[in-house]
Amino acid sequence: MKGSAHIALLLTMTMTMTLTVLSVFPDRARAEAPHVTDEKTSAGEWQLVWQDEFDKEVINANNWTLEVNCAGGGNNEKQCYTDNEENAYVADGKLIIVALPARKGAEKPYTSARLNSRGKADFRYGRIEIRAKLPFGQGSWPALWMMPTEEVYGSWPKSGEIDIMEAVNLKTRDKQGKQESRIHGTLHYGGDWPDNVYSGQAYALPDEQNPADDFHTYSIEWQQGEIRWYVDNHLYAAQRQSVFSDDHQGQAVELLHRGWFTESVKTASNDMAAAPFDQKFYVILNLAVGGNWPENTNQKGIDEQAFALGQHMQIDFVRVYQCAVDPVTGKGCNTSSSEHVLIEGRAK
């Protein structure tokens, strides 16, 4: 999801908070590490370094900022984001984000909420887990994603965007009666519009499950040069930096794997190929209404009846783990081998 501008252990996973954040949730500080699903892979130890279990009475302002604007993500969305409690609140140990019809005469026809952790919880490399139950209906667009804390390589998307999970129009039906149930994991990168590009993968849950019917855990494992996407610990996609063969002088001579890129790095080399996904990113949780993507797929437009009483995205927790094997690069803790789900990027 495009945005207008998208703890500290061994200097690489950097947070603006101190390690005392681990004492914020003393009853949750022993949250289990992710389950290793592939015993053939030598997975190292994931260490919990940050979490929000939403077990307080209100949204934790030390963790999240509620954005207030009507610009959305620049995709012709139809909501204004507010800091009103009717659009975002904590109840029963969950964060609830609600998209509602706006009052008559409002700037846009809907209101909703978008929370971000920028400057409060920023990360480079690790495993990010978000357990959520998604909204549904034509025009709904929930997103769990990440943007760069500092735009080291320039404005969007040159500094990158990591979409942990997006979905549009869940539970709508096509002409054949098939129900929309896909989620999407995506990277955005490249150059300034119109030279921006993206690559990713859609995934449908097994046994005709729908993400709007129950909670599922959406995760990425992010290490230097590779990002992997999971649902309920099932690996469904992976992307890597470009890989080059070098001549005897260390100059790239052949592209061996086409991965991501940023237009800001002009010279092809393995040393710089991890850019732009080699910097700190922060977490964003939001529910958009309408926009170019949902309004032009499935049944088209926005179903007003679906939003008449509000659409809800419920988030049970957000947890961030660091790879203890190598915190500097994040390597050595991959839960599964990724070769069989590797996606080619769009590097030039």
Catalytic residue positions, numbered? 161, 166
Is position 18 within any domain? no
Q: What stretches in the chain show pLDDT beneath 50?
A: 2-30, 32-33, 35-43
Q: What pLDDT score was predicted for residue 34?
A: 52
Q: What pLDDT score was predicted for residue 36?
A: 37
Q: What is the pLDDT of residues 250-302, one digit of tens each?
A: 676 788 999 999 999 977 777 789 999 999 999 999 999 999 999 999 999 99
Is position 305 within any domain? yes
Q: Give the predicted TM-score (pTM) of the model.
A: 0.88
Which is nearest to 312 in space by CA: 135, 93, 123, 94? 135
Q: What pLDDT score was predicted for residue 41?
A: 36
H or E stretch at 343: strand 342-343
Residue 260: left (phi > 0), alpha (psi -120 to 50), or beta?
A: beta
Q: What is the pLDDT of residues 176-226, one digit of tens each?
A: 889 999 999 999 999 999 999 999 999 999 999 999 999 999 999 999 999
Is position 19 within any domain? no
Is position 260 within any domain? yes
Count of domains forming the chain: 1
Beta strand 79-81 pairing with 110-112? parallel
Q: Tokens 């997975």 belong to which residue?
A: 43
Is position 24 within any domain? no
Q: What pLDDT score was predicted for residue 11?
A: 33
Cα dihedral 99, 299, 75, 276, rounded to 10, equals 100
Is position 16 within any domain? no
CATH number, domain containing residue 299: 2.60.120.200
224 contacts 330 by C-beta, under 8 angstroms: yes
Is position 184 within any domain? yes
Residue/partner pairs of 326-329 with CB below 8 Å, 24 or more apart: 326/44, 327/9, 327/10, 327/12, 327/13, 327/125, 328/10, 328/11, 328/12, 329/12, 329/125, 329/223, 329/224
Q: What pLDDT score was predicted for residue 174?
A: 83
Q: What pLDDT score was predicted for residue 202?
A: 98
Is position 35 within any domain? no
Beta strand 342-343 pairing with 226-231? unpaired
Q: What pLDDT score was predicted for residue 170?
A: 98
Distance CA 14, CA 149 (A): 11
Domain enclosing residue 127, as ranges: 40-343
